[in-house]
Chains A and B, each alone.
Chain A
């Protein structure tokens, strides 16, 4: 376990804030899961087990300079990048097109469903930031499963060639739906794969937010100094189903899951803070209540957001083609609608 008081590490206030955001991530995620069960949201992926990875990373970044490119499990933990992130994520899981729009100045990309496809984007973004003389970094999240995609290798390789200010953050949570890491790679670790890219790869305890903070801070420092990319493998365990559509009891060994539950990132962080006398039961309950309230607000806002039935015509091109306009008119005429237009 990393020492929370290491110089340059998070101070007391920040540690408490990290705890609150980890709790909020779990609360938001649980609520999204329940919304799906109630038929009010579509398929979504719980965060359980990834909270320390996301919040530890987010607190090592500068939300005014750095970019985060998530896979699809991270949005609930990126509060630090903007209070509105959770509103947009709620819209997203509820199937509203506006869920993909994270407004300025939030430096977070929408969830990515095509695994690993966001890694080349992060490399291109970091490359562009370097060309423009900006001193931020791009951090891209992906899973152990996504590391088997060609995009990971192509992007990692190009990142090395470009010396791009990018952090490749591989969240090894043990499972790609039902496929264990042993079927994903014969390599000793995912971090080792950085060797072929010509930049450092480090393995971090992904259940420990403070350790994550330290590793990402170091990688960020390297990137901003012009020393290039880092691959971070955050080792944790998926404590919930892959998504609302998954039944992990078919394949996750109960005893292994029970062991990892003892290392639940929320418990780990809570123990760390309690040892430093920075956290109480009252704090915990208050954080949970705040998160519940915030999520309730997000759900209310999402349900009050009108959905234009012809909204799928918006934002395909900068200006709709004549053909799309004809299609839209026909659609609205058939369904007796007045037509929405770009929102």
Chain B
């Protein structure tokens, strides 16, 4: 058993960036304020001092060329780890992410690959200005060629980030703003890789299965504890990666529990929860004893600070959905 240390998710990300840059000199970190300042959240703290101005690069304020330059850097044989300061700003890079990064391998029929890990924080609850909190994982999961990775624990942030940086395909590595400092757990200090497409069981139970990712996993865990007092056994599954997706864990959960709830922070219409419910329909419909419930954001732009707490699914809304699903005849 290797040594562990309690870290926040932010510390785990920073620790992993240091390790991966030390491990592979092709890794280049770049973006707005990532260098001297160490990132607006300090995710890249100390990298500039350790690895220098050629590998830790402050870019002009231009998301399109941050994403686009990653394509060329990759073709030159580097391993780009760009940061988009907030995922909502990636609208200004979307043409490069969807039209270029995702399909470099495909367009060139395997001549070039894009081992790019694009890191970006997202999600609500921290009173940010407009466009800092949008959850865009469903849009990104709709683009063939990208892998979509969303850690929910500090240990996973390390294991999934290391896997992402070493993966030959482009990865959208989405970090929960609210979890940066709120999420703390034991992180292995040595080599720690978490494979893609393997969901994690967070709580045990066989009355109802709850599927979630990123910060919502922690909220679901608290909701599970709340209803446990009422005798409801909840299995919370952290999907970890939406592409590739652990279909077996979804099917197994539904077969074992017969009832399911899917939780997401994003807008309801066409959210990734819809995809999970469709997969349950395809692969586990006859195991269901009740309709699958969905707890989600609403079909409105992510709101300003005074309105955001009730827009994002909270423990109470999730617990209510669990109770209703279990009570459904």
CB proximity of B93 to chain A, nearest CB, Å:
10
Q: B75: which A residues are within 8 A, CB to CB?
A: 109, 121, 124-125, 128
Partner among B54, B71, B113 whose Cβ is within 8 Å of the Cβ of A121: B71
Cβ–Cβ < 8 Å partners of A318 in chain B: 105, 113, 167-169
B131 at the interface (CB under 8 A from A): no
The chain B residue sitting closest to A324, CB to CB, is B144
Q: Is the CB of B70 within 8 A of A154?
A: no
A100, A150, A321: the one contacting B244 at CB < 8 Å is A321
Pair B244/A323 contact, Cβ less than 8 Å: yes
Establish whether residues A117 and B111, one from each chain, have CB atoms under 8 Å apart when the complex forms: no
| Partner pick for A114 among B67, B69, B100, CB 8 A cutoff | B100
Is B245 an interface residue when CB atoms closer than 8 A count as contact?
yes
| Chain A residues whose C-beta falls within 8 Å of the C-beta of B71 in the assembled complex | 120-121, 124
- B229 interface contact, C-beta 8 A: no
**Could you tell me if B108 and A117 are in contact, using CB atoms closer than 8 angstroms?**
no
Interface size on B, residues (CB 8 A): 45
Q: List, in ascending order, chain A residues with CB within 8 A of B108's CB.
A: 100-102, 109-110, 315
Tell me, rounded to whole Å, the shortest Cβ–Cβ distance linking A156 to chain B.
9
For residue A134, which residues in chain B have a CB less than 8 angstroms away from its CB? 76
Instruction: Please pick, from A101, A127, A316, the residue contacting B145 in the complex, using a CB distance under 8 A.
Output: A316
Question: Per-residue 0/1 for A87-114: is the Cβ within 8 Å of any B Cβ (1 yes, 0 no)?
Answer: 0000000000110111110000110001
Return chain B residues, CB-CB under 8 Å to A227: none
- Asked if B78 is at the interface (CB within 8 A of a chain A CB), the reply is yes
Question: Shortest distance in angstroms between B307's beta carbon and chain A's nearest beta carbon?
Answer: 32
Residues on the A chain within 8 Å of B59, using CB: 158, 161
- Contact present for B76 and A124 (CB under 8 Å): yes
Docked Cα-Cα span, A122 to B75, in Å, equals 10
Nearest chain B CB to A262 CB, angstrom units: 39
Within 8 A of A (CB), among B153-199: 167-169, 197
Establish whether residues A150 and B64, one from each chain, have CB atoms under 8 Å apart when the complex forms.
yes
Residue of B nearest to A166 (CB): B72
**Contact of B96 with A by CB under 8 A:** yes
B293 contacts partner chain A, Cβ-Cβ < 8 Å = no
CA distance A314 to B71 in the complex (A): 20
Verify B96–A124 contact, CB threshold 8 A: no
Q: How large is the interface on A (under 10, 10 to 19, 20 to 34, 35 or more residues)?
A: 35 or more
B231 touches A (CB below 8 Å): no
Known contacts: A154-B60, A316-B145. The answer to whether A127 contacts B109 by CB under 8 A is no
Nearest-neighbor residue (CB-CB) of A320 within chain B: B244
Complex contact B169–A317 (CB within 8 A) = yes
B110 within 8 A of A: yes
Please name all residues of chain B whose beta carbon is closer than 8 Å to the beta carbon of A100 when the two chains form the complex: 106-109, 111
A contact residues around B245 at 8 Å (CB): 321, 323
- Smallest CB–CB gap between B83 and chain A, Å? 15
A154-B64, A158-B62, A317-B169 given; A122·B72 CB < 8 A: yes
Contact of A315 among B65, B109, B147, B244 (CB under 8 A): B109
B residues within 8 A CB of A114? 95, 99-100
Q: How far is the CA of A316 from the CA of B62 in the complex (A)?
A: 27
Nearest-CB distance from B52 to chain A (Å)?
Answer: 11
In the assembled complex, A155 has its CB within 8 A of some CB on chain B: yes
Taking CB atoms, residues of chain B closer than 8 Å to A323 are 244-245, 247
Rounded to whole Å, the gap between the CB of B230 and the closest CB of chain A is: 37
B 84-103 binary contact with A (CB < 8 Å = 1; else 0)? 00000000000110011000
Q: A residues within 8 A CB of B316?
A: none
User: Chain B nearest CB: distance from A341 CB in Å?
Assistant: 13
Is A187 at the interface (CB under 8 A from chain B)?
Answer: no
Is B65 a contact of A123 with CB atoms below 8 Å? Answer: yes
Q: Does A267 contact B (CB under 8 A)?
A: no
Given A314-B109, A315-B105, A316-B105, are A322 and B244 neighbors across the interface (CB < 8 Å)? Answer: yes
| B21 vs chain A, min Cβ distance (A) | 13
- A117–B106 CB distance below 8 A: no
Q: How far is the CA of A124 from the CA of B144 in the complex (A)?
A: 23
Q: Find out whether the CB atom of B65 lies under 8 angstroms from the CB atom of A132.
A: no
- For residue B214, give the distance in angstroms from its CB to the closest CB of chain A: 20
**Do B244 and A120 touch across chains, with their CB atoms under 8 A apart?**
no
Complex formed: what's the CA distance from A331 to B98 in Å? 25
Q: How far is the CB of B26 from chain A (nearest CB, A)?
A: 9
Interface: B301 (CB within 8 A): no
Say yes or no for A17: interface residue by CB 8 A criterion. Answer: no
Task: Give CA–CA (A90, B124) in the complex, Å.
Answer: 50
A120 touches B76 (CB 8 A): no
The answer to whether A120 touches B65, judged by C-beta atoms less than 8 angstroms apart, is yes
Q: Does chain A have a CB within 8 A of B73? A: yes
B77 at the interface (CB under 8 A from A): yes
Rounded to whole Å, the gap between the CB of A70 and the closest CB of chain B is 12
CA distance A102 to B107 in the complex (A): 10
Q: Tell me whether B68 is interfacial, beta carbon within 8 Å.
A: yes
- Tell me if A131 is interfacial: C-beta within 8 Å of chain B: yes
Q: A127 to B76, Cβ gap below 8 A? A: yes
- Let me know if B72 and A124 touch, CB within 8 A: yes
Judge if A75 is at the interface, Cβ distance under 8 Å.
Answer: no
- In the assembled complex, 14 residue pairs joining A and B whose CB atoms fall closer than 8 Å, in A order, are A100-B108, A100-B111, A104-B111, A109-B112, A114-B95, A125-B75, A134-B76, A150-B64, A151-B95, A161-B60, A315-B109, A318-B105, A318-B113, A318-B169
- Beyond the given pairs A110-B107, A321-B197, 20 more chain A to chain B contacts, judged by CB atoms under 8 angstroms and listed by A's residue number, are A100-B111, A103-B111, A104-B111, A120-B72, A121-B68, A121-B72, A124-B71, A124-B74, A127-B69, A128-B72, A128-B73, A129-B76, A151-B65, A151-B68, A154-B62, A158-B59, A158-B69, A161-B59, A315-B106, A317-B145
The 6 closest A-B pairs by CB, nearest first: A128-B76, A120-B68, A124-B72, A124-B69, A125-B72, A101-B109
